[in-house]
Structure 1
Amino acid sequence: MATFVLVHGAMHGGWCWRPVRRLLAARGHEVFTPSLRGQGERRDELTREVGLSTHVDDLTSLLWYEDLGDVHLVLHSYAGVLAGPAAERARGRIASVTFLGAFVTEPGECLLDVEPPEVARRYRQLVREAGEGWYLPADSGFLEQWGITGDLRPWVGERLVRFPFRCQTEPAAYDPAPLAAVPTTYVRHTQPPLASLDLSFARAEAAGWELREIPCGHAMMLAAPEATARVLDEVAAARPE
């Protein structure tokens, strides 16, 4: 049995992992799917002060309070920015890190630094014009951007919440050594791909991480839960406790 901590991306919450959580649990794994502050069912906790460091606190506090070790940490989309700071603060607790269509930042970079310039400009405009200067509104256009189709569109759309802009602009400050010491996998989605992740995938490839692909859109855990659970199961099996 392995222990998984599955961390959602922007505007989502722990709810998005429900199909994958059930599949992994059925295989005997222990699975945690926290909602980061201000997201999911914790949407009422959203304030101007919530940023990247807030979410690092959320994640590392979970590991400490639950006394988790040999954790297979799975990070989707925005949550990839948490990888370096979390690996440093939870040193010794993490068995592997999987970037599931996630952003890869180097020390001192923020999320907008690794987005294409035109995307970063669009986000800044949305925040300025529709987000009171401090949050990214949960616009329905993101469903199209993320390749969410069919029956998933209304189900996901009504669960998206505002995302704090500080999470996009706060740099990830960390020592890269702890993350570099952990076995790492990058899972890329291909139908459709997301151009915003091209730089992150290139970095994963250059670093020699294990590379995997799932033929679906950005919300892999919802669009292809069986394939996602299978990949994660294989990651854990390759790195026994």
Structure 2
Amino acid sequence: MTTDGFVFVHGGQHDARCWQPTLDALQRLTDLPALAVNLPGRNGEPGNLGTLTIAQCAESVCRQIADHQLSGRLTLVGHSMAGISLPAIAALLGEQRLHSLVFMSCCIPEEGRSIIDSLDPPMSIISRLAARHLATMRPMPGLFAKWVFGNGMTAAQKRYLVQTLCREATSITSEAVSRRNMPACPRHWIMLEQDRALSPARQKSYIDNLGGVDSIESLNCCHDAMIAEPELVAATLVKLTAAPATNTPG
């Protein structure tokens, strides 16, 4: 059976607005409900960025799902730094609420390690310095953000990318992660082949760290594919979630 709805979780220095192009494209393909959430401390969602934890992110997302009265078996779609929050969200929702998990170029540290332990330069350098000296990190300079997140985008897409960047918590980049309570459900990976933030080689190491991945879909896209190629991302999600959901051991 297909999924009963989608929940989209953004990555670092982003908020729910980054998913809007993909939500619009998805609406043209299916009438299933889709919710893009804001993690705490951004775009009006309550929370303190200076002390943010992964658990607080997961609790906030589950509350937003309840507030929007999403029911049935949901597909959680995460991007980039959502790789550390998606397993925690899944654990709170429980196996019976999950159709599948989709990781789009997500950061997946080794069990018990943190994001800053698992990045490559230049992102590792930026994250480590920020975690050491700042409680929150301001948005990246526009030119660098366009280069690292938006290579291949149109000029209009690059403007949208820069306009929707926001401050980020540094506390969760150094927080040790655990996926031990992550429930069994199908796991899919969207590999972004032109990603400059998380290279394909690094993504392959994250797939190994995650384990239990049922399928890998490769897209010839930059890091922010949900803005650069929303129709392609939406079509890929429909394809992945049209197959029957059978639970997969972790």
Q: TM > 0.5 between the two?
A: yes
**In 1, Cα distance between the equivalents of 2:187 and 2:23?**
20
TM-score of the superposed pair, with normalisation by structure 2: 0.83
**In 2, Cα distance between the equivalents of 1:38 and 1:155?**
20
Change in Cα spacing, 1:107 to 1:99, as seen in structure 2 (3 Å) is same
**In 1, Cα distance between the equivalents of 2:123 and 2:194?**
20
Q: Secondary structure at the match of 1:98?
A: strand
TM-score of the superposed pair, with normalisation by structure 1: 0.86
One-letter identity of the residue aligned with 2:86: A
Partner of 2:236: 231
Paired residues for 1:7-156 under 5 Å: 7-26=9-28, 27-39=30-42, 41-42=43-44, 45-65=47-67, 66=69, 68-91=71-94, 92-116=96-120, 119-126=123-130, 133-140=134-141, 141-148=144-151, 149=153, 150-156=155-161
Higher deviation after alignment, 222-231 or 18-27: 18-27
Q: What is the Cα-based RMSD across aligned positions, in Å?
A: 2.5
Task: Give a deviation string over 1:39-76, Cα, whole Å, max 9, x none.
Answer: 2x227854311232221111222334435331010001
Task: Give a deviation string over 1:1-48, Cα, whole Å, max 9, x none.
Answer: 730001111111111111211222232111011111122x22785431
Which residues of structure 1 form unaligned runs of 5+? none
Task: Give a deviation string over 1:177-221, Cα, whole Å, max 9, x none.
Answer: 51xx21011001112454456334234266443000111100011
Task: Give a deviation string over 1:89-114, Cα, whole Å, max 9, x none.
Answer: 21121110000111123432222122
How many residues align? The count is 235
Higher deviation after alignment, 204-213 or 132-141: 204-213
8 Å contact from structure 1 (residues 14, 33) kept in 2: yes
8 Å contact from structure 1 (residues 36, 42) kept in 2: no
Change in Cα spacing, 1:51 to 1:229, as seen in structure 2 (3 Å) is same
Structure (1/2) with the larger helix percentage: 1
8 Å contact from structure 1 (residues 43, 161) kept in 2: no
8 Å contact from structure 2 (residues 10, 38) kept in 1: yes
Paired residues for 1:176-195 under 5 Å: 176=181, 178=183, 181-195=184-198
- How much identity, in percent, do the aligned residues show? 20
**In 2, Cα distance between the equivalents of 1:95 and 1:43?**
26
1:157 matched to 2:162: yes
Change in Cα spacing, 1:176 to 1:209, as seen in structure 2 (3 Å) is farther
